[in-house]
């Protein structure tokens, strides 16, 4: 249902932001973890987000049905493309979860069970203040996506009232 394409775009934003929240929560929870699954302290993670391209065939098909035959601009725009090939984004997708390569923090604590020969403990490279900022960004982005979705829903409801 391409007339509900807007819902798909907002839905992808919501999913991506929720994933970011999960990763941030994991970073905060593991801010003091000295033993991670792969040995060594926990390394901070981040989500890599990429643009999701809409189905090109669907856009062309919608353009064909609308304009019939040639590369009619109105027809292409109906399908979400313009003549230069620039198109409405299909939303966002999470490409992967990447580790942060910055060095670990060192803390002098010879009594710690994970202290090395010199008495230093390697702590995760997680800065809780940065994580809190990212958390605020992620939750506000989530709310913004919900607002966009509600606005679109209101538009559709008003359009349906035309016929009443």
Instruction: Return d(Cα 112, Cα 34) in angstroms, integer.
Output: 10
158 is a site residue for another protein (CB under 8 A):
no
Instruction: Return d(Cα 135, Cα 139) in angstroms, integer.
Output: 6
112 is a site residue for another protein (CB under 8 A):
no
Tokens coding 112? 């710690």
Among 2, 7, 66, 141, binds another protein (CB under 8 A): 7
Phi, psi angle pair for 5, to nearest 5°: -60, -35
Among 68, 101, 157, 158, binds another protein (CB under 8 A): 157
106 is a site residue for another protein (CB under 8 A):
no
Beta bridge partners of 118: none
149 is a site residue for another protein (CB under 8 A):
yes
CB 20 to another protein: min, Å: 13
Among 8-16, 42-50, 60-68, 90-98, the segment contacting another protein (CB under 8 A) = 8-16
Number of H helices, E strands in the chain: 4, 4
Among 42-50, 106-114, 120-128, 150-158, the segment contacting another protein (CB under 8 A) = 150-158
CB atoms within 10 A of CB 103: 8
CB atoms within 10 A of CB 58: 14
Residues that bind another protein (CB under 8 A): 1, 4, 7, 10-11, 14-15, 18, 146, 149, 153, 156-157, 160, 163-164
């Amino acid at each position: 249902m391409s007339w509900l394409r807007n819902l798909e775009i907002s839905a992808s934003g919501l999913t991506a932001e929720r994933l970011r929240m999960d990763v941030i929560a994991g970073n905060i929870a593991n801010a003091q973890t000295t033993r991670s699954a792969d040995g060594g302290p926990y390394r901070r993670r981040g989500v890599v987000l990429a643009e999701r391209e809409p189905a090109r065939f669907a856009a062309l098909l919608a353009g064909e049905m609308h304009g019939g035959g040639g590369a009619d601009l109105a027809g292409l725009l109906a399908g979400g493309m313009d003549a230069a090939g620039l198109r409405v984004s299909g939303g966002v997708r999470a490409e992967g979860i990447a580790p942060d390569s910055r060095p670990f923090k060192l803390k002098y604590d010879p009594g710690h069970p994970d202290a090395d020969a010199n008495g230093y403990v390697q702590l995760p490279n997680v800065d809780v203040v940065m994580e809190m900022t990212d958390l605020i960004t992620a939750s506000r982005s989530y709310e913004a996506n919900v607002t966009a979705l509600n606005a679109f829903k209101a538009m559709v409801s008003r359009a349906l009232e035309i016929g009443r």
